[in-house]
Protein backbone atom coordinates (compact mmCIF):
# COMPACT_ATOMS: atom_id res chain seq x y z
CA UNK A 1 0.00 0.00 0.00
CA UNK A 2 1.71 3.20 -1.12
CA UNK A 3 1.56 6.25 1.10
CA UNK A 4 -0.81 8.27 -1.04
CA UNK A 5 -3.17 5.59 -2.32
CA UNK A 6 -5.63 5.72 0.57
CA UNK A 7 -5.62 9.14 2.22
CA UNK A 8 -5.24 12.71 1.02
CA UNK A 9 -1.82 14.28 1.40
CA UNK A 10 -1.44 16.78 4.22
CA UNK A 11 -2.48 20.34 3.50
CA UNK A 12 -1.64 23.63 5.18
CA UNK A 13 -2.22 24.11 8.90
CA UNK A 14 -5.44 26.02 8.26
CA UNK A 15 -6.77 23.42 5.83
CA UNK A 16 -5.96 20.60 8.26
CA UNK A 17 -7.42 22.37 11.30
CA UNK A 18 -10.59 23.87 9.93
CA UNK A 19 -11.27 22.18 6.58
CA UNK A 20 -13.32 19.10 5.91
CA UNK A 21 -10.90 16.97 3.91
CA UNK A 22 -9.54 14.00 5.81
CA UNK A 23 -5.74 14.13 5.73
CA UNK A 24 -4.47 12.13 8.69
CA UNK A 25 -0.90 12.56 9.88
CA UNK A 26 1.21 9.51 10.54
CA UNK A 27 4.36 9.90 12.62
CA UNK A 28 7.93 8.96 11.67
CA UNK A 29 7.06 5.30 12.34
CA UNK A 30 3.97 5.53 10.13
CA UNK A 31 1.60 5.42 13.10
CA UNK A 32 -1.28 7.51 14.41
CA UNK A 33 -2.57 7.29 18.02
CA UNK A 34 -6.09 5.87 18.42
CA UNK A 35 -8.42 6.22 21.40
CA UNK A 36 -11.27 3.72 21.71
CA UNK A 37 -14.25 4.60 23.90
CA UNK A 38 -17.37 2.61 24.73
CA UNK A 39 -20.15 3.83 22.42
CA UNK A 40 -22.70 3.61 25.23
CA UNK A 41 -20.92 4.56 28.46
CA UNK A 42 -18.29 6.90 27.02
CA UNK A 43 -15.63 5.11 29.05
CA UNK A 44 -12.15 5.08 27.54
CA UNK A 45 -11.46 1.43 26.81
CA UNK A 46 -7.98 1.47 25.33
CA UNK A 47 -5.29 3.49 23.61
CA UNK A 48 -3.28 2.05 20.75
CA UNK A 49 -1.80 2.92 17.38
CA UNK A 50 -2.90 2.42 13.79
CA UNK A 51 -0.80 2.46 10.65
CA UNK A 52 -2.27 3.44 7.28
CA UNK A 53 -3.50 -0.06 6.58
CA UNK A 54 -5.12 -0.45 10.01
CA UNK A 55 -6.87 2.90 9.76
CA UNK A 56 -8.10 2.19 6.24
CA UNK A 57 -9.42 -1.22 7.26
CA UNK A 58 -11.10 0.25 10.35
CA UNK A 59 -12.88 2.82 8.17
CA UNK A 60 -13.85 0.35 5.46
CA UNK A 61 -14.98 -2.55 7.67
CA UNK A 62 -16.17 -0.57 10.73
CA UNK A 63 -14.27 -3.01 12.94
CA UNK A 64 -11.30 -1.80 15.00
CA UNK A 65 -7.92 -2.71 13.56
CA UNK A 66 -4.68 -1.53 15.15
CA UNK A 67 -0.95 -1.89 14.62
CA UNK A 68 0.78 -3.95 17.29
CA UNK A 69 4.07 -2.28 18.06
CA UNK A 70 5.24 -5.22 20.20
CA UNK A 71 4.53 -7.80 17.49
CA UNK A 72 5.10 -5.47 14.51
CA UNK A 73 1.98 -6.67 12.77
CA UNK A 74 -1.58 -5.74 11.92
CA UNK A 75 -3.76 -6.37 14.96
CA UNK A 76 -7.35 -7.15 14.17
CA UNK A 77 -8.75 -6.67 17.64
CA UNK A 78 -10.71 -9.76 18.68
CA UNK A 79 -9.12 -12.18 16.24
CA UNK A 80 -7.66 -14.22 19.12
CA UNK A 81 -9.96 -13.30 22.01
CA UNK A 82 -13.27 -12.92 20.18
CA UNK A 83 -13.46 -9.45 21.71
CA UNK A 84 -14.15 -7.62 18.47
CA UNK A 85 -14.87 -3.89 18.51
CA UNK A 86 -17.63 -2.75 16.17
CA UNK A 87 -17.11 0.88 15.30
CA UNK A 88 -20.07 3.24 15.56
CA UNK A 89 -18.20 6.51 14.97
CA UNK A 90 -14.76 7.66 13.84
CA UNK A 91 -13.48 11.17 14.60
CA UNK A 92 -10.23 13.01 14.23
CA UNK A 93 -8.86 15.99 16.13
CA UNK A 94 -7.96 19.52 15.06
CA UNK A 95 -4.46 18.53 13.93
CA UNK A 96 -5.77 15.33 12.32
CA UNK A 97 -3.00 13.43 14.08
CA UNK A 98 -5.17 11.43 16.50
CA UNK A 99 -8.13 9.11 15.87
CA UNK A 100 -11.04 8.60 18.26
CA UNK A 101 -13.32 5.64 17.66
CA UNK A 102 -16.49 4.77 19.52
CA UNK A 103 -17.00 1.01 19.70
CA UNK A 104 -19.44 -1.66 20.78
CA UNK A 105 -17.63 -4.68 22.13
CA UNK A 106 -18.37 -8.32 21.32
CA UNK A 107 -17.27 -11.44 23.17
CA UNK A 108 -16.36 -10.90 26.81
CA UNK A 109 -17.41 -7.25 26.60
CA UNK A 110 -13.85 -6.38 27.55
CA UNK A 111 -10.97 -4.60 25.86
CA UNK A 112 -7.98 -5.21 28.12
CA UNK A 113 -5.57 -8.10 27.64
CA UNK A 114 -5.34 -8.42 31.43
CA UNK A 115 -9.06 -9.31 31.41
CA UNK A 116 -10.66 -6.06 32.50
CA UNK A 117 -13.39 -4.24 30.63
CA UNK A 118 -11.26 -1.15 30.18
CA UNK A 119 -7.49 -0.93 30.12
CA UNK A 120 -8.03 2.06 32.40
CA UNK A 121 -9.21 0.03 35.39
CA UNK A 122 -7.11 1.83 38.00
CA UNK A 123 -7.42 5.39 39.26
CA UNK A 124 -5.38 7.72 41.40
CA UNK A 125 -7.34 8.35 44.63
CA UNK A 126 -8.95 11.80 44.79
CA UNK A 127 -6.59 12.84 47.57
CA UNK A 128 -3.55 11.07 46.06
CA UNK A 129 -0.36 13.09 45.74
CA UNK A 130 2.58 12.65 43.38
CA UNK A 131 4.99 10.78 45.62
CA UNK A 132 6.82 7.48 45.12
CA UNK A 133 4.67 4.57 46.32
CA UNK A 134 1.36 6.21 45.38
CA UNK A 135 -1.28 3.48 45.60
CA UNK A 136 -3.99 3.22 42.93
CA UNK A 137 -7.56 2.10 43.48
CA UNK A 138 -9.40 -0.29 41.19
CA UNK A 139 -12.39 1.02 39.23
CA UNK A 140 -13.59 -2.48 38.30
CA UNK A 141 -14.34 -5.13 40.93
CA UNK A 142 -12.93 -8.05 38.94
CA UNK A 143 -11.69 -8.98 35.46
CA UNK A 144 -14.33 -9.87 32.87
CA UNK A 145 -12.34 -12.88 31.65
CA UNK A 146 -9.30 -14.97 32.51
CA UNK A 147 -6.46 -14.15 30.10
CA UNK A 148 -5.01 -17.66 30.59
CA UNK A 149 -8.21 -19.16 29.15
CA UNK A 150 -8.25 -16.80 26.20
CA UNK A 151 -4.61 -16.35 25.25
CA UNK A 152 -3.14 -19.57 26.71
CA UNK A 153 -1.30 -19.97 29.97
CA UNK A 154 1.94 -18.05 30.39
CA UNK A 155 4.94 -20.40 30.54
CA UNK B 1 12.96 17.71 39.45
CA UNK B 2 14.95 14.49 39.35
CA UNK B 3 13.50 11.47 37.63
CA UNK B 4 12.77 9.44 40.72
CA UNK B 5 11.69 12.10 43.16
CA UNK B 6 8.00 12.06 42.29
CA UNK B 7 6.95 8.66 40.97
CA UNK B 8 7.91 5.08 41.73
CA UNK B 9 10.40 3.43 39.43
CA UNK B 10 8.99 0.94 36.92
CA UNK B 11 8.50 -2.61 38.16
CA UNK B 12 8.12 -5.91 36.33
CA UNK B 13 5.45 -6.34 33.65
CA UNK B 14 3.16 -8.18 36.09
CA UNK B 15 3.59 -5.58 38.80
CA UNK B 16 2.87 -2.76 36.35
CA UNK B 17 -0.13 -4.46 34.76
CA UNK B 18 -1.93 -5.93 37.75
CA UNK B 19 -0.45 -4.24 40.82
CA UNK B 20 -1.67 -1.11 42.56
CA UNK B 21 1.52 0.93 42.74
CA UNK B 22 1.56 3.91 40.39
CA UNK B 23 4.69 3.70 38.22
CA UNK B 24 4.01 5.69 35.06
CA UNK B 25 6.19 5.18 32.01
CA UNK B 26 7.60 8.21 30.21
CA UNK B 27 8.91 7.77 26.68
CA UNK B 28 12.36 8.61 25.35
CA UNK B 29 11.35 12.29 25.29
CA UNK B 30 10.16 12.12 28.90
CA UNK B 31 6.49 12.29 27.89
CA UNK B 32 3.34 10.27 28.55
CA UNK B 33 0.18 10.56 26.37
CA UNK B 34 -2.86 12.03 28.11
CA UNK B 35 -6.51 11.77 27.07
CA UNK B 36 -8.95 14.34 28.47
CA UNK B 37 -12.67 13.55 28.46
CA UNK B 38 -15.64 15.61 29.60
CA UNK B 39 -16.54 14.43 33.11
CA UNK B 40 -20.25 14.72 32.34
CA UNK B 41 -20.74 13.75 28.69
CA UNK B 42 -17.81 11.34 28.33
CA UNK B 43 -16.83 13.09 25.10
CA UNK B 44 -13.12 13.03 24.27
CA UNK B 45 -12.05 16.67 24.43
CA UNK B 46 -8.36 16.54 23.59
CA UNK B 47 -5.23 14.46 23.43
CA UNK B 48 -1.88 15.83 24.54
CA UNK B 49 1.29 14.90 26.41
CA UNK B 50 2.53 15.39 29.95
CA UNK B 51 6.06 15.29 31.28
CA UNK B 52 6.82 14.31 34.88
CA UNK B 53 6.32 17.85 36.13
CA UNK B 54 3.00 18.29 34.30
CA UNK B 55 1.65 14.97 35.55
CA UNK B 56 2.75 15.68 39.13
CA UNK B 57 1.16 19.14 39.05
CA UNK B 58 -2.05 17.73 37.54
CA UNK B 59 -2.26 15.19 40.36
CA UNK B 60 -1.41 17.65 43.11
CA UNK B 61 -3.56 20.58 41.99
CA UNK B 62 -6.37 18.68 40.20
CA UNK B 63 -6.07 21.07 37.28
CA UNK B 64 -4.90 19.80 33.87
CA UNK B 65 -1.29 20.64 33.05
CA UNK B 66 0.36 19.41 29.86
CA UNK B 67 3.69 19.68 28.09
CA UNK B 68 3.57 21.72 24.92
CA UNK B 69 5.75 19.98 22.36
CA UNK B 70 5.51 22.91 19.93
CA UNK B 71 6.57 25.48 22.53
CA UNK B 72 8.75 23.13 24.61
CA UNK B 73 7.27 24.37 27.85
CA UNK B 74 4.87 23.53 30.63
CA UNK B 75 1.32 24.22 29.45
CA UNK B 76 -1.10 25.09 32.21
CA UNK B 77 -4.27 24.65 30.22
CA UNK B 78 -6.42 27.77 30.50
CA UNK B 79 -3.63 30.15 31.53
CA UNK B 80 -4.09 32.16 28.32
CA UNK B 81 -7.67 31.33 27.33
CA UNK B 82 -9.28 31.00 30.75
CA UNK B 83 -10.42 27.55 29.66
CA UNK B 84 -9.11 25.72 32.70
CA UNK B 85 -9.81 22.02 33.12
CA UNK B 86 -10.69 20.92 36.64
CA UNK B 87 -9.84 17.26 37.06
CA UNK B 88 -12.43 14.96 38.61
CA UNK B 89 -10.66 11.65 38.02
CA UNK B 90 -7.22 10.42 36.91
CA UNK B 91 -6.71 6.91 35.58
CA UNK B 92 -3.90 4.98 33.99
CA UNK B 93 -3.98 1.98 31.66
CA UNK B 94 -2.71 -1.58 32.03
CA UNK B 95 0.81 -0.68 30.89
CA UNK B 96 0.77 2.55 32.91
CA UNK B 97 2.02 4.39 29.86
CA UNK B 98 -1.12 6.45 29.15
CA UNK B 99 -3.09 8.84 31.40
CA UNK B 100 -6.85 9.42 31.16
CA UNK B 101 -8.26 12.45 32.97
CA UNK B 102 -11.91 13.39 33.33
CA UNK B 103 -12.35 17.15 33.44
CA UNK B 104 -14.90 19.88 33.99
CA UNK B 105 -14.16 22.89 31.80
CA UNK B 106 -14.19 26.52 32.86
CA UNK B 107 -14.31 29.65 30.70
CA UNK B 108 -15.71 29.11 27.23
CA UNK B 109 -16.55 25.48 28.04
CA UNK B 110 -14.24 24.54 25.17
CA UNK B 111 -10.96 22.65 24.89
CA UNK B 112 -9.85 23.22 21.29
CA UNK B 113 -7.53 26.05 20.25
CA UNK B 114 -9.58 26.40 17.04
CA UNK B 115 -12.55 27.36 19.22
CA UNK B 116 -14.58 24.16 19.31
CA UNK B 117 -15.74 22.42 22.45
CA UNK B 118 -13.81 19.26 21.57
CA UNK B 119 -10.72 18.97 19.41
CA UNK B 120 -12.56 16.01 17.90
CA UNK B 121 -15.23 18.08 16.16
CA UNK B 122 -15.11 16.25 12.83
CA UNK B 123 -16.18 12.69 12.02
CA UNK B 124 -15.83 10.35 9.10
CA UNK B 125 -19.33 9.77 7.65
CA UNK B 126 -20.80 6.36 8.50
CA UNK B 127 -20.55 5.29 4.87
CA UNK B 128 -17.17 6.98 4.30
CA UNK B 129 -14.45 4.89 2.69
CA UNK B 130 -10.67 5.25 2.86
CA UNK B 131 -9.98 7.09 -0.38
CA UNK B 132 -8.16 10.36 -1.07
CA UNK B 133 -10.54 13.29 -0.80
CA UNK B 134 -12.69 11.73 1.91
CA UNK B 135 -14.91 14.51 3.27
CA UNK B 136 -15.51 14.82 7.00
CA UNK B 137 -18.70 16.03 8.67
CA UNK B 138 -18.80 18.45 11.58
CA UNK B 139 -20.08 17.20 14.93
CA UNK B 140 -20.43 20.72 16.37
CA UNK B 141 -22.49 23.39 14.64
CA UNK B 142 -20.16 26.26 15.42
CA UNK B 143 -17.08 27.14 17.49
CA UNK B 144 -17.67 28.08 21.13
CA UNK B 145 -15.28 31.02 20.93
CA UNK B 146 -13.27 33.04 18.43
CA UNK B 147 -9.58 32.16 18.73
CA UNK B 148 -8.60 35.63 17.46
CA UNK B 149 -10.32 37.17 20.48
CA UNK B 150 -8.68 34.81 22.91
CA UNK B 151 -5.17 34.28 21.55
CA UNK B 152 -4.83 37.46 19.49
CA UNK B 153 -5.24 37.85 15.75
CA UNK B 154 -2.87 35.90 13.55
CA UNK B 155 -0.44 38.19 11.73
The pLDDT of residue B69: 94
CB-CB neighbors (< 8 A) of B134 in chain A: 7-8, 21-22
Q: What is the pLDDT of residues B5-45, one digit of tens each?
A: 899 999 999 999 999 999 999 999 999 999 999 999 999 99
Q: Please tell me if residue B93 touches chain A, with a CB cutoff of 8 Å.
A: yes
Judge whether B132 is closer than 8 Å to chain A, CB to CB.
yes
Question: Which of A50, A52, A104, A136 would best serve as a mutation to test chain B binding (most B beta carbons within 10 A)?
Answer: A136
pLDDT on residue A100: 98
pLDDT at position A123 is 98
Chain A residues whose CB is inside 8 A of the B4 CB are 132
Query: Is some CB atom of chain B closer than 8 A to the CB atom of A98?
Result: yes
**Taking CB atoms and an 8 Å limit, are A130 and B60 in contact across chains?**
yes
Q: Which of A17, A55, A135 sits opposite B20 (nearest CB)?
A: A135
- pLDDT 10s digits, A92-146: 999 999 999 999 999 988 899 889 999 999 999 999 999 999 999 999 988 988 8
- Distance in angstroms (rounded) separating the CA atoms of residues A101 and A62: 10
ipTM of the complex: 0.93
Residue A49 has pLDDT above 90, yes or no: yes
pTM of the model: 0.94
A121 touches chain B (CB under 8 A): yes
Partners of B114 on chain A (C-beta within 8 Å) are 17-18, 94
**How many angstroms separate the CA of residue A93 from the nearest CA in chain B?**
4
Mutate which: B55, B100, B126, B155, vs A, most A CBs within 10 A: B100
**What's the confidence (pLDDT) of residue A144?**
87
Using the predicted structure, report yes or no on whether residue B50 has a pLDDT greater than 90.
yes
Report CB contact under 8 Å: B6, A116: no
> Higher-confidence residue: A64 or B145?
A64
* CB-based contact A47 B37, cutoff 8 Å: no
Cα A80 off chain centre by: 16
Q: How far is A149 from chain B (nearest CA, A)?
A: 17
Compute how many other C-beta atoms are within 10 angstroms of the C-beta atom of residue B10.
Answer: 14
How far apart, in whole angstroms, are the C-alpha atoms of residue A108 and residue B76?
Answer: 39
Q: pLDDT, tens digit, for every residue of B85-115?
A: 999 999 999 999 999 999 999 998 889 988 9
Please determine, for residue A3, whether its predicted confidence score (pLDDT) is greater than 80. no
Amino acid sequence: MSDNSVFSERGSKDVVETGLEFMPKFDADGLIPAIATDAVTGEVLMFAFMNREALAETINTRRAVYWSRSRSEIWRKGETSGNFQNVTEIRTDCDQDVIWIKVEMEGHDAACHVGYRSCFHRAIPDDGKAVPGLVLKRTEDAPSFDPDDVYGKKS
